[in-house]
Structure 1
């Protein structure tokens, strides 16, 4: 199965040329044409690598790089006319794996794409045993940031993954709010109390989308616990 490359470049001619070279090397390409919901496009298509410009309509590439990093560790290569040191530093600090300045040779771009794909998915990829946390059929894959129940799967953000791993590991025992704060933010001294409630609400909805009702129980003044009950199919 060939790898899929998502191209986020508002110069349509350049994007088409990149797509043509990518196809020539046996990869699939997805060219983004609307730039308001790039993260939604990423989640729908699940590419293996992203080519990302810095200067984009609405939000710049640094912003979208950070958004992608909340759900994926796939390789991200910036391609930009900005050639200053700080531009490259900004890209790497925001989660990029490489940075190519325009104008560029297409063969160099392809070489860097192949290198990143080998590093993450191929012969150079680290051979790690994937962790799995499971309770009563609800299964969390922390490295993938995915939660599954039966045949249904939902994607999680990094903090949602951490929160669910704690609840699943302790289930059906209580997890104190203080412990969740410490794990999610190191300290809760500078985090609003309601922030945790917001994350709990998001995780509740994702669990419910899998068919599990009332999955997270609130113990007032103490914390939360995960209790798994699910809907029965009606013939």
Structure 2
């Protein structure tokens, strides 16, 4: 299943931006605008990571962090407009795992989130990769989409593994060929196209269409 992330942000525009960014990256997302609502979501949603602003109405994000640490060790990433060194220091002392200031770089935020999730849940991150409601099970060699699964060959799994590891970016055909066939001197470029075509047929059989996009003269992207 996708990792669950709770966004705690009082600004509705930023809150929606974060929700869209995370949902588009394959995460399950819920949001809260203040500390009481966040504590309620912690119980009902049980997130695996929290994005937390400092400047919240009522109780501050630092106070909320201390409350969360009273019952949970879930990774906490502060995303705040505060540039004060004292706030960053307090976030660490109170149990925060990362500190980013606004305006944040979306790519850096996603990278920090992925790194924290891998560290906090190593078994899950190694065995299953997730992107937009689609799960790649590495141990069983199967792809799952909304409860339906399809078995993959070794090469099909390697192609999807590479695409999942570079999700959201264009993967050059040459890089895929090198990864798939371990830099062998000569491999017919058409072989990659054949494999991708077979993968697409399997994805279509479980209701997943247009998952792998072809970028003309560039490569593939999911």
> Match for residue 10 of structure 2?
10
Q: Which residue of structure 1 aligns with residue 101 of structure 2?
A: 101
Partner of 1:81: 81
The CA distance in 1 between the partners of 2:35 and 2:89, in whole Å, is: 23
Q: Which residue of 2 aligns with 1:48?
A: 48
Quick check: 1:22 aligned with 2:3? no
Classify 1:81/1:34 alpha carbon distance in 2 versus 1 (closer, same or farther; 3 Å). closer
Give deviations 1:21-77, integer Å, cap 9, x for gaps. 111111110011354342222112110000000000000001110111111101000
TM-score computed with the length of structure 2 as normaliser: 0.54
More helix, by proportion:
2
Measured on the aligned residues, the alpha-carbon RMSD in Å equals: 1.7
CA distance in 1, matches of 2:74, 2:38: 15
Q: Which has the higher contact order (CA 8 A, sep 6+)?
A: 2
Q: Please, which runs of 5 or more residues in structure 2 have no aligned partner? A: 126-222
Which residue number corresponds to residue 68 of structure 1? Answer: 68
Which structure 2 residues correspond to residues 130-169 of structure 1 after superposition, within 5 A? none
Q: Identify if the C-alpha distance between structure 1 residues 41 and 85 changes in structure 2 by more than 3 Å, giving closer, same or farther.
A: same
- The change in CA–CA distance for 1:124 and 1:36 in structure 2 (over 3 A counts) is closer
